[in-house]
Amino acid sequence: MSPLQRRKLLIAIEASALSMLLFMAACVHAPSSITTPQGQAAYTADQVVQRVNELENAAIQAEASKALPTNITRIIVQFCVSADMTLKTTPAGWQQTVSVAWKQAKAQIPASVLANPAWSATISGVDVVLAALGGTN
Amino acid sequence: MAAAIVPLLAPLITQVVVPEIAAIIRAHHNATGQMPTDAQVIAALGTDADGGISVGQAWLAAHPATPAS
């Protein structure tokens, strides 16, 4: 591993860890103005939707710049569309469905893409959000 | 030591810390600076999910699966 690759990997690892801490701090406590179970579930689901949309946008941008193969991008985008639909329709019971879909999507993505420092932080963001909010990955 | 750390921290701050803090602030306050109500977060979920679905479906329609891709 070259010094540049090592540096990029270190940055990605630090970014993932920091994202995890910031996300946990932000999402564990919904704003105190949200008082109903429905509102709290919607708040949590919306946090996941935002991370899923970030992943979708990153994948589309990477595909447009030829940094990600179209077939891999399709897997990610299909997961994102499916996850958004589930989160919107079942904000209080999305965890199992979205987690299984994410696990299946990741299984189709080559290890070289998953290990790419440019992607690891974004992918870790989805991993973290699912692990933190009740799903498994 | 500091000279070695600064190049590592700069991208971390600009690419992770600042966007995450901005997201946290946005998540806890609506457009008028007030904390969101239940109705607002429920509406935001629908809006954000619809946005992701719309973008994704448009991309998928423009990039249909083929044996070569």
Q: What is the spatial distance between Cα A40 and Cα A131, in angstroms, rounded to a whole number?
A: 18
Q: What is the spatial distance between Cα A7 and Cα A30, in angstroms, rounded to a whole number?
A: 35
Rounded to the nearest angstrom, the minimum Cα separation between A42 and chain B is 5
Q: What is the spatial distance between Cα B64 and Cα B67, in angstroms, rounded to a whole number?
A: 10
Please state, in angstroms and as integers, the Cα–Cα distance from residue A18 to each residue in A26, A115, B14, B19, B61, following that order.
12, 18, 12, 12, 36
In a domain, B6, yes or no: yes
Q: Which residues of A touch B16 (CB under 8 A)?
A: 15, 18-19, 22, 121
In a domain, B67, yes or no: no
The total number of structural domains in chain B stands at 1
By the 8 A CB rule, do A84 and B45 touch? no
Q: What is the pLDDT of residue B30?
A: 57
Residue to test with chain B: of A84, A94, A124, A128, most B Cβ within 10 A: A84
Rounded to the nearest angstrom, the minimum Cα separation between B20 and chain A is 7
Q: Please state, rounded to an integer, the average pLDDT across all residues of chain A.
A: 81
In a domain, B42, yes or no: yes
In a domain, B33, yes or no: yes
In a domain, B18, yes or no: yes
Nearest residue of chain B to residue A28 (CA atoms):
B24
In a domain, B68, yes or no: no
Rounded to the nearest angstrom, the minimum Cα separation between A46 and chain B is 5
Give the pLDDT band (50/70/90) at residue A137. Answer: very low
* Tens-digit pLDDT profile for residues B7-54: 766 766 676 667 766 666 665 555 566 788 999 999 999 999 999 999
Q: Where are the domains of chain A?
A: 3-31+38-132
Calculate ∠ Cα A26-A28-A34, nearest 5°.
Answer: 85
Chain A within 8 Å of B19 (Cβ-Cβ)?
A: no
Residue B28 domain boundaries: 2-62
- Is residue A6's pLDDT more than 60? no
ipTM greater than 0.90, yes or no? no
